[in-house]
Amino acid sequence: MGVEAQNPAVVEVTDAKVHFGAVKALDGVTIRIAAGESVGLVGHNGAGKSTIVNIINGGLTPHTGSVSCGGARIERYGIAAARAHGVRCVFQELSLCPNLTVIENTRVMHRGLRGFGWRKRAAEVISRSLDSIFPGHTIAPDATIGDLSIAERQMVEIATAFSTISTPVKLVILDEPTSSLDATLAAQLLAYVRVFVENGGSIILISHILGEILSATDRIIVMKDGKVVTEKPSSAFDHHSLVAAMGSVVKARDAAPARVKVNGGMLLLSAPPRRGKGLRFNAYAGELVGLAGLGGHGQTDILLDLYLSKTGNWLRNANAAVTFVAGDRSLNGVFPLWSILKNLTIANLSDLSPRGMVNDGREEALGTSWKERIEIRTKDMDNRILSLSGGNQQKVLFARALATSAPVVLMDDPMRGVDVGTKQEVYAIIRAEAAKGRTFVWYSTEMEEVSLCDRVFVFSEGVIVKELTGADVTEENILAASFTGVAA
Amino acid sequence: MKLRLSSDTIRLIIPALSLTILLISVFYLQPRAMGYLGLNLLFNLAVPIALATIAQMLIMTVNDLDLSMGSFVSFIACVTATFLQSDPAIGVAILLLAIAVYAGLGVLIHVRDLPSIVVTLGMSFVWSGLAILLLPAPGGHAPEWARAVMTSRPPLVPMAIVASVIIAMFSHFLIMRSSFGVILRGVGGNARSVERAGWSILAARAATYALAAFFAILAGIALVGLTTSADANIALRYTLLSIAGVILGGGEFTGGRVSPIGAVIGALTLTLAGSFLSFLRISSDWQIGAQGAILIVVLGLRLLLNRMEKKEKRA
């Protein structure tokens, strides 16, 4: 009782159970978030992280179990009640209105902003919040969200969640907050999280970057199959024990692939130096080529240019030379209204339609074979794509690209926000495909992925500044190159 | 220092430019139109179209489309020329009921997740039917006050221009500047995020539809004020005119990207295009085609501008 009184729970979810049809998303979860603590939430795809987050932010009512705030049980806990109790959420997929300005998005989040002069007040609130979290940012409050880069949008979203008008912010749920931020911005955010917690706020941090979880939280809750399996202070975990607790079978780091000798292969892709500066880009058959550097330094642009250089033609080529795996799933990856099967086979329809009509049998066969190969977790490939978790949606997008006959696969940071287990599965697929002679050009913001590559081009300010091969592909070298800028 | 234009301003340039060019051409062809009376004659039929365009724009703000706009304005015109003139109390009650029906349509579309096109297409037959019941043959009388407002002669600037400016300013304030308008546009931009912030999308949709009905009612009254009598088919072409006006004015079908000032300019441009073609002595057989050609030219210009804007952003 004494402890309870000293450190009251901001939010407490007791024995929550949620099921979608036959699938148990949550099977009796109890979570208590005290004031002034930072809690990490980790687990695989479908472990129930998003579900518990949705319960805490009021978007979902558990079928059994209860939610209480500040010790008092709340009967009709919903979005409005959650917000009234100071619960805010930064969602994994960006959720701002792209047609509105930064100020107007702030207004959407805060009911209190109205009446005469609301714009001015909103501008003050959001600028203050942005300044304190990301000092040195260059976002104008009257900029339209659609004109901002992904990283800037994420910054705005985070700043909006931490901004206060009338109800004080007590708990902020950060769901993959750093997925679009580069290392510097991520560090600024994590530093702010510490300050926020020291001042009595609470944080729930969900991240696939285990280093972040370990360094930025006081306590880690590990979930698996809709249950809490372990709950310990962060200091009691390290990288290995955390991965082990999640039940991931793959050893985290020492699973680096045997490097293949590549230069014997055929030159498949090349591009002149970007903006007339820096190094040439080239890629040989059977190679894993990494594009590294800080986020948003021209890696996506070169991928798009490479893609358009091979496909930008009004007449469709029967055998495409390149295929693309998009990073922003919701924007240019999935067809949200289509089934999993249709999403998977869209890139391959010409092979499945011998006389201009889609052959259902062959389409289904293709779907079934890929479902097994990459283990898409669904009972029925005719389910809507959105019924899958984010990681599984991404697997479908991979299958879509791999099912084509294109010898080159371009990947635009496709593992954003995908959990560790799924990643390892996809890495294995990529390695297997590369061994068969496919070439992968892989932009990734994560060092772990970059270090899987045979050769890495490091980008800075839109230009390739460094080419690293084999054993030289190390975090140190990449970081050093990212921060040097263009020499020429 | 480089001058940065906001994307909203760029959006407005094309409609404003096309209206100016069209106006100059009309003045060149018919110098007598360059005066108080001439301007009023050129533009007075644009007032109801501008109001209907704003109504359509509101619906498009929440990513819907209203295919019953023309028949609804016709119905309102018939109500105005009959009940509103003879028994104002009943007339007002009917108008309030119409607003409630529109709000109900918004609720229905949202709750049942129906395509607005289907629902409003169905409603267009209902409104047409009601209009024919009210006025089986053209007739009725405009209420005195509507007639007085529409034929008033303010000093210096003709009524049509004053009314257009007021409509543009008022709707701009309501949709673009007020905190209420932000929510409406937010629903068009990303309904989920608005919902997550604790707003009721249902209420926002109902409010949008009700507001659209209000503007459409003003359009009907203004139309009868000009024509003095009504007819069940009086405004059928408003459906397409209003959609074209919104698009011409820089709005888009989805994503909550709209511009009330642009919409009013779009409505003026469409009206002027008709007069322009008459001044050119193009036979009425060709006029609709020529009007379409003008639309295509203007929209082509806008695509070009969008492309330039994108390129600039990438560089």
B93 has a pLDDT exceeding 60: yes
Residues A152 and A295 in one domain: no
Does residue A256 belong to the interface with chain B, where contact is any CB pair within 8 Å?
no
Residue in A443, A404, A435 with CA at minimum distance from that of residue A323:
A404
Q: What does the pLDDT read at residue B146? A: 93
Contact A450, A478 (CB under 8 A): yes
What digits encode the pLDDT tens for the residues B38-91? 888 889 899 999 999 999 999 999 999 999 999 999 999 999 999 999 999 999
Boundary (domain end) residue, out of A211, A246, A281: A246
Q: Within a domain: residue B102?
A: yes
| Residues B7, A97: C-beta atoms closer than 8 Å | no
Tokens 């940065």 belong to B4
Q: Is B57 on the interface with A (CB under 8 A)?
A: no
The per-residue pLDDT for A23 is: 62
Alpha carbon distance B233, A410 (integer Å): 57
Both A296 and A223 in one domain: the answer is: no
B188 touches chain A (CB under 8 A): yes
Query: A418 and A453 in one domain?
Result: yes
Residues A205 and A329 occupy one common structural domain: no
Which among A145, A130, A123, A139 has a CA at the least distance from the CA of A188? A130
Q: CA end-to-end span of chain A, whole Å? A: 67
Interchain contact, B192 vs A95, CB within 8 Å: yes
pLDDT at B202: 95
In this structure, the answer to whether residues A105 and A142 fall within a common structural domain is yes
A256 within some domain:
no
The confidence score (pLDDT) of residue A46 equals 62
3-state SS track over B100-141: HHHHHHHHHHHHCCCCHHHHHHHHHHHHHHHHHHHCCCCECC
B313 in any annotated domain: no
Determine whether A466 is exposed, middle or buried from the number of CB atoms within 10 Å of its CB (0-12, 13-18, 19+): buried
- Residue A64 forms beta bridges with which residues? A17
Inter-helix orientation angle B46-61/B179-196, to 10°? 20
Provide the pairing of β-strand A171-175 with A87-90. Answer: parallel
pLDDT of residue B78: 96
Identify whether B309 is part of a domain: no
Three-state DSSP at B14 gives helix
Has residue A257 been placed in a domain?
no
Same domain, A210 and A69: yes
CB-based burial of residue A486 (10 Å sphere; 0-12 exposed, 13-18 middle, 19+ buried)? middle
How many beta carbons lie within 10 A of that of residue B288, not counting itself? 12
CA A156, chain centre distance (Å): 17
Indicate the residue of B180, B186, B195 with minimum beta-carbon distance to A100. B186
* Tens-level pLDDT at each residue, chain A (488 residues): 334 445 678 899 999 898 876 567 888 899 999 999 999 998 765 678 888 998 998 888 888 888 988 888 888 888 888 888 899 999 876 789 999 999 999 999 888 888 888 999 999 999 999 999 999 898 999 998 988 888 899 999 999 999 988 788 999 999 888 877 888 899 999 999 999 999 999 999 988 777 888 889 999 998 887 889 889 999 888 877 887 777 644 333 444 444 455 555 677 777 887 777 788 888 888 888 998 876 667 888 888 888 888 776 666 666 677 888 887 777 778 888 888 888 888 888 877 887 878 888 888 888 888 888 877 878 888 888 888 877 788 888 888 888 888 888 999 888 876 777 778 888 888 888 888 888 899 988 777 788 888 889 988 777 888 888 878 887 777 777 776 544 43
The per-residue pLDDT for B91 is 95
Q: What are the start-end ranges of the E strands in A349-435?
A: 408-412
A242 and A303 assigned to the same domain: no
* Amino acid A44: pLDDT: 67
Q: Mention every residue, 6+ apart, whose C-beta is less than 8 A from residue B239.
A: B66, B67, B68, B69, B70, B71, B124
B3 is a domain residue: no
CA distances from A269 to A141, A284, A409, A464 (A): 41, 7, 11, 15
The verdict on A327 and A227 lying in the same domain is: no
Amino acid letter, B160 = A
Of B8, B194, B314, the CB nearest to A97: B194
First to last CA, chain B: 18
**Each residue of B197-226: pLDDT tens digit?**
889 999 999 999 999 999 999 999 999 999
Q: What is the CATH number of the domain that holds B170?
A: 1.10.3470
In a domain, A262, yes or no: no
pLDDT in tens, B273-283: 888 888 888 88
The boundaries of the domain holding residue A421 are 267-484
Name the pTM for this structure: 0.75
Do both A334 and A470 map to the same domain?
A: yes
How many structural domains compose chain B?
1
Distance of alpha carbon B11 from alpha carbon B177, whole angstroms: 17
- Paired tokens of A86: 């100071």
- Tokens linked to A168: 């004080």
Is residue B70 within 8 A of residue B231, CB to CB? The reply is no
Instruction: Choose among A207, A208, A230, A209: nearest CA to A220.
Output: A230
Q: Is residue A261 part of a domain?
A: no
Looking at this protein, which amino acid is placed at residue A174? L
What are the chain A neighbours of B198 within 8 Å (beta carbons)?
79-80, 83, 111
Locate all alpha helices (DSSP H) within A251-389, ordered by sequence: 299-311, 329-332, 340-345, 349-352, 360-374
- Interaxial angle between packed helices A420-435 and A390-402, expressed in degrees from 0 to 180 and rounded to the nearest 10: 10
**Residues contacting residue B149 through CB under 8 Å, at least 6 positions apart:** B222, B225
Q: Report the pLDDT value the prediction gives residue B238, as an integer from 0 to 100.
A: 94
Q: For residues A426 and A399, what is the distance between their CA atoms, to the nearest angstrom?
A: 10
Closest CA to B159 of B245, B65, B48, B270: B48
- pLDDT value at B31 more than 70: yes
Query: Is B252 a member of any domain?
Result: yes
Asked if residue B178 belongs to a domain, the reply is yes
Identity (one letter) of the amino acid at A296? Answer: G
Question: When comparing pLDDT for B214 and B289, which is higher?
Answer: B214
Residue A124, domain member (yes or no): yes
In the three-class reduction of DSSP (H, G, I as helix; E, B as strand; rest coil), residue B95 is classed as helix
Comparing CA positions, the residue from A320, A417, A433 lying closest to residue A374 is A433
Would residue A255 count as lying in a domain?
no
Angstrom distance (rounded) from CA A83 to CA A60: 14
pLDDT band for B103, please (50, 70, 90 cuts): very high
Spatial separation of the C-alpha atoms in residues B69 and B57, rounded to whole Å: 11
Report the alpha-carbon distance of residue A140 to residue A471 in Å, rounded.
43
Q: Please indicate whether, in this complex, the C-beta atoms of A100 and B196 are within 8 angstroms of each other.
A: no
Going from the C-alpha of B81 to that of each of B45, B84, B85, B126, the distances in angstroms are: 17, 6, 6, 19
Say how many domains are in chain A: 2
Chain B residues close to A114, C-beta within 8 Å: 179-180
Residue B214, both tokens = 């209000």
| Surface of B (242-261) touching A: CB under 8 A | 255-257
Same domain, A360 and A330: yes
| A97 bridge partner residues | none
Q: Which two tokens stand for residue B84?
A: 């509103």
- A142/B6 touch (CB, cutoff 8 Å), yes or no: yes
Residue to mutate among A90, A96, A100, with most B CBs inside 10 A, is A100
Chain B contact for A336 (CB, 8 A cutoff): no
Tokens (6 digits) for B52: 């209907």
- Determine the distance from the C-alpha atom of residue B76 to the mean position of all C-alpha atoms in its chain, rounded to a whole number: 15
What are the chain A neighbours of B8 within 8 Å (beta carbons)? Answer: 144
Do the domain assignments include residue B1?
no
Which of A95, A99, A107 lies closest to B257 in CB terms?
A99
Q: CB distance A59–B314 less than 8 Å?
A: no
Confidence check: pLDDT of B141 > 80: yes
Q: Which residue has the higher pLDDT, B167 or A451?
A: B167
Tokens 């066969």, residue located: A365
Residues 6+ apart with CB under 8 A from A136: none
| Helix axes of B260-279 and B284-314: crossing angle, nearest 10 degrees | 140
Beta-carbon neighbour count of residue A156 at 10 Å? 26
Over residues B300-304, the mean pLDDT reads 83
Question: Does the beta-carbon distance from B190 to A79 stay under 8 Å?
Answer: no
Q: Which domain holds residue B53?
A: 11-23+32-304
| A287 three-class SS | coil
Domain boundary among A185, A213, A246: A246
> End of a domain among A190, A212, A246?
A246
Residue that wins the pLDDT comparison between A326 and B246: B246
User: CATH no. for residue A184?
Assistant: 3.40.50.300
From A114's Cα to the closest Cα of chain B, the distance in A is 6
A28: amino acid identity, one letter? G
d(CA B288, CA B273): 10
Q: Are B50 and B264 in contact (CB under 8 A)?
A: yes
Task: Please indicate, yes or no, if residue A187 is contained in any of the structural domains.
Answer: yes
Name the A residues in 81-120 with CB < 8 Å from any B CB: 83, 89, 91, 95-100, 104-105, 107-109, 111, 113-115, 118-119
Q: What pLDDT is attached to residue B2?
A: 42
Give me the residue from B188, B198, B257 closest to A80, CB to CB: B198
Residue A56 lies in a domain: yes
Contact A205, A38 (CB under 8 A): yes
Judgement on whether residues A457 and A372 belong to the same structural domain of the protein? yes
Tell which B residues from 224 to 243 touch A, by Cβ distance under 8 Å.
none
- CA B93/CA B96 separation, integer angstroms: 5
- Chain B residue whose CA is closest to A114: B179
Same domain for A232 and A340, yes or no, is no
Phi (first) and psi of residue A48, to 5 degrees: 110, 10
Could you tell me where the DSSP H helices lie in B172-259? 179-196, 201-227, 238-248
Pairing of strands A408-412, A322-325: parallel
Instruction: Let me know if residue B39 belongs to a domain.
Output: yes
